[in-house]
Structure 1
């Protein structure tokens, strides 16, 4: 059976597409590079990361983008000949403006090279492209209204100024008039439009209620693509806002698809909060069956609006196994990403024996960090690496990091102290914003030799361990608050909506490009 979520750990805003018997889901990657994750499945139960299409400077350059900006809400589609991907690169978070630029790229193969981008518009974010059965293509996005109180179409949240629709042509770009087709329900924060057509009706799916615990999937329909659109009788198709004890919360933002035999399915994003209401795995992707009723409206199979935890399917989920990477090839393992820059050669190389990180700017940088990390996918896990590093001063450091963003991380770093010599520094940024103040947990003298660093995370708590050479790992420092490494940590859920990572980092605050080698990286799920 399907066990929700189907894509675990930071995989939000799922756009689903079926081509024959193959299903593809594209999810947001925000400031992490390469941009957009695309997973593939033939049974809807087991999913494999098959592509990150935005991987060249011409397609995406996020240097300077704030935390939780970058690639928002991609839309993946296939028009019978090739794949289309629409995405936003958001350049500003705080303040009245968003500066959100929307692009389209295409590919003949989902795992091949994608085209350079075609710019479309900057009027808002969360774009999608609808291929109508008459061959015309229509571009949708939410429109951002910066003007102030009372200027937008939805009184609940007037900066979210409705869903706009305009015809788009591959040779001529946007053509014809812009039409605002939907202002949303009274819940507000209306975004993430997706269109599909069934039995002569155009159905519009949107996300509402923000990225937190009021999130919802709302639906409307019209006989004409330009509207007017009538609201679903129940308003929401999927939400957990009325079921606070449900294990899947923050449910919203998804897309409809049908199986080859006509069974309706709808993806959704969700969070799995631990006690104290924090989601260390960020926003994940789930899927639910949809039934069509006599009134022509779709509803969640089984009734209600809260999504199912399990869905019966004729397949068995692959078990979660430990992952051990030894960096003895020239390719970075597929689960790893880095931040913002399209020039990874300045951050790392694979020597055939190690992953060599070139120290760049600090863990607080918006531009160039040497942080190579993977998603946390389990509520309990351990991770470990071995570092070869001999920093000449306290401005250089390398080690293991649990990371959410610039102001939410814990780190165990090999560095140098004038009094101790080579040492391990435990340091955190505990969600302090603005200012990103550091909290220091102590310095530990290191003799010569490779340094093994590990971290164990169990729900709300994490603890670092350390050893030299083949000695047994020993706990160092205090228990650390893993709740900081979550959407709800620091500024809170509406200011942070990506997910937790764990990985390897190197800094050189002199700007001279000092480097450190990492011999392996282990990620071990725990019950």
Structure 2
């Protein structure tokens, strides 16, 4: 039998909303401050997946300028009813402190490709909202409820509010709390299903760290606090399975196959450790972010859902008996020569779409106009793609004549405004073009900046038009190299800790952060003189993570690295 190999969506693809329409399965995942918003992957076998759409791809649908890091799109909900797709999404504007200012929106489309309608404002009661289409024809918004009052727990249960299709608005007077969660608290990510005469509520708890879990409750009605919890909970968690390959499983959604089998898609993570660290404390560093995995579900004699293999989940999962083979790339490697004005679907920008303000692409080059620093949440010229493997090389070719040391352009590994590094062209105090490597990490605000090469920064020879940059990522660490001819590579001698680019590192310093590491191209000119960089190519080459017969993965350094 064919098997699903987890994670099915490697690299930052979290909070999956999981549906089936006829013979096609769809996964919609969170994108937070990265633009476009809401990635949708499709499959017919649950094994092989293709990225088919980034839904929120215009400022009419989504404008996040100035959003905080890890704000933006939280836990979108994709559903299909009445002959069309429905997408509920949340734009979070405040991530720290007592408040979570947010707006929930609704957009619809006749097909997954669109066109998607202008968004309708739904409410701001809480995040992780989903739309439930009752078999009796009524619709309800199901959502986490936020409470800013310091003498209450901020996660104030799961609220159900009827949605009026005639007006396309909620009916606030119908709002009721249907579930308060259990003593683990932090109840969020709700989805409702009707199965065998019951309403089943799936909800996440414990926060999206190593204490994360998913619980299930059920009721014969949608009355206030009418849901009873599943015995022997939780439904899925890795809190008590610290040595399993997948960790942090929880928040997700349920789907049924045409043949009546059930599967559950949830976020997950694959932490690793430094050699001098315990395998359980800290539990590890998840540089690929929160990914999507799929587990098979059975039902016990009392009608409760159970994860096949136990609530810790499995790396290898039997695929559906009626799976239809799906063709998809074997790796996520990418080669881009920027022949088209539209960026490749794998590229992302921060908060706003790629525009002429940032630069332009086409005819074999990408031009990026130097704007704000990599710490700037308002005005930044950067395009980036996810890390999707523990071992990869990324390379680019760039032409740049900086105005001064305030002008920089090059190749970056980036987590958020506070945690990033890059290799770049700039000018030294003697007016010479040089290669520098810098890192920014930690801190409650914008972190600490370190220049690694300083007075020893290599001078770019006069007459050199292009400089090649490369990063080699090797799970626990990564480094940067440069070349003046594209053939002979020079090491910088700078080896950086990859853990800095993980949720687990950032959460030690402040708040909850939810994305993952990216690699990309950037141009900075905070002098305001708009020095422009020209990138001629980009390559992202995955070097392979091989699965073994027992269902675990090996991460030995590839022989071709």
- After TM superposition, the score normalised by the length of structure 1 is 0.96
Contact 2:26 2:42 in 1 (8 A): yes
Is 1:457 matched up with 2:464?
no
**Alignment-derived partner of residue 364 in structure 1:** 375
How many angstroms apart in 2 are the aligned matches of 1:36 and 1:345? 23
Indicate the SS of the match to 1:434.
Answer: coil
Cα distance, 1:499–1:435 mapped onto 2, change above 3 Å: closer
Contact 1:374 1:503 in 2 (8 A): yes
**Structure 2 unaligned residues grouped into runs of 5+:** 275-283, 545-561
Instruction: Give 1:476 shift.
Output: 0.9
**Alignment-derived partner of residue 557 in structure 2:** none
**Worse-superposed segment, 170-179 or 75-84:** 170-179
Q: How is 1:45-56 mapped onto 2 (pairs within 5 angstroms)? A: 45-56=47-58
Instruction: Give 1:257 shift.
Output: 0.5
**Alignment-derived partner of residue 301 in structure 1:** 308
Contact 1:408 1:489 in 2 (8 A): no
Q: Deviations over 1:354-381 (max 9, x none)?
A: 0111111110011121110000000111
**Alignment-derived partner of residue 255 in structure 2:** 257
Is 1:521 matched up with 2:517?
no
Q: 2:490 aligns with which of 464, 474, 480?
A: 474
How many angstroms apart in 1 are the aligned matches of 2:166 and 2:35? 29
How many angstroms apart in 2 are the aligned matches of 1:33 and 1:347? 14
Q: 1:507 aligns with which of 516, 519, 524?
A: 524
**Alignment-derived partner of residue 154 in structure 1:** none
Contact 2:375 2:446 in 1 (8 A): no
Q: How is 1:317-328 mapped onto 2 (pairs within 5 angstroms)? A: 319-320=330-331, 322-328=333-339
Q: 1:283 aligns with which of 282, 285, 290?
A: 290
Instruction: Give 1:431 shift.
Output: 1.9
Contact 2:96 2:511 in 1 (8 A): no
How many angstroms apart in 2 are the aligned matches of 1:345 and 1:140? 40
- After TM superposition, the score normalised by the length of structure 2 is 0.90
Q: 1:66 aligns with which of 62, 65, 68?
A: 68
Is 1:113 matched up with 2:103?
no
How many angstroms apart in 1 are the aligned matches of 2:80 and 2:86? 6
Q: How is 1:302-341 mapped onto 2 (pairs within 5 angstroms)? A: 302=309, 304-313=310-319, 319-320=330-331, 322-341=333-352
**Worse-superposed segment, 463-472 or 80-89:** 463-472
How many angstroms apart in 2 are the aligned matches of 1:294 and 1:368? 57
**Alignment-derived partner of residue 247 in structure 1:** 245
Indicate the SS of the match to 1:252.
Answer: coil
How many angstroms apart in 2 are the aligned matches of 1:322 and 1:72? 27
Is 1:168 matched up with 2:167?
no
How many angstroms apart in 2 are the aligned matches of 1:73 and 1:40? 18
**Alignment-derived partner of residue 444 in structure 1:** 458
Contact 2:365 2:534 in 1 (8 A): yes
**Alignment-derived partner of residue 180 in structure 1:** 177
Contact 2:246 2:268 in 1 (8 A): yes
**Alignment-derived partner of residue 223 in structure 1:** 220
Q: 2:17 aligns with which of 15, 18, 21?
A: 15
How many angstroms apart in 1 are the aligned matches of 2:67 and 2:143? 21
Indicate the SS of the match to 1:250.
Answer: coil
How many angstroms apart in 2 are the aligned matches of 1:270 and 1:321? 19
**Alignment-derived partner of residue 233 in structure 1:** 231
Cα distance, 1:170–1:352 mapped onto 2, change above 3 Å: farther
Cα distance, 1:330–1:90 mapped onto 2, change above 3 Å: same
Q: 2:401 aligns with which of 383, 390, 393?
A: 390
Is 1:380 matched up with 2:391?
yes
**Structure 1 unaligned residues grouped into runs of 5+:** 152-157
Q: Deviations over 1:302-344 (max 9, x none)?
A: 3x21011011226598522642111112221110000001463
Normalized per residue, which structure has more strand?
Answer: 1
Contact 2:14 2:30 in 1 (8 A): yes
Cα distance, 1:204–1:494 mapped onto 2, change above 3 Å: farther
* Residues paired across the two proteins, number: 519
Cα distance, 1:203–1:494 mapped onto 2, change above 3 Å: farther
Q: Deviations over 1:14-53 (max 9, x none)?
A: 0011000000000000000010100011111111111111
Indicate the SS of the match to 1:345.
Answer: coil
Q: Deviations over 1:275-295 (max 9, x none)?
A: 151001000000011001110
Indicate the SS of the match to 1:483.
Answer: helix
Contact 1:6 1:47 in 2 (8 A): yes
Q: Deviations over 1:107-149 (max 9, x none)?
A: 1110122111100111111100011111111001111100112
Cα distance, 1:124–1:344 mapped onto 2, change above 3 Å: same
**Alignment-derived partner of residue 551 in structure 2:** none
Indicate the SS of the match to 1:346.
Answer: coil
**Worse-superposed segment, 433-442 or 110-119:** 433-442
How many angstroms apart in 1 are the aligned matches of 2:82 and 2:297? 24
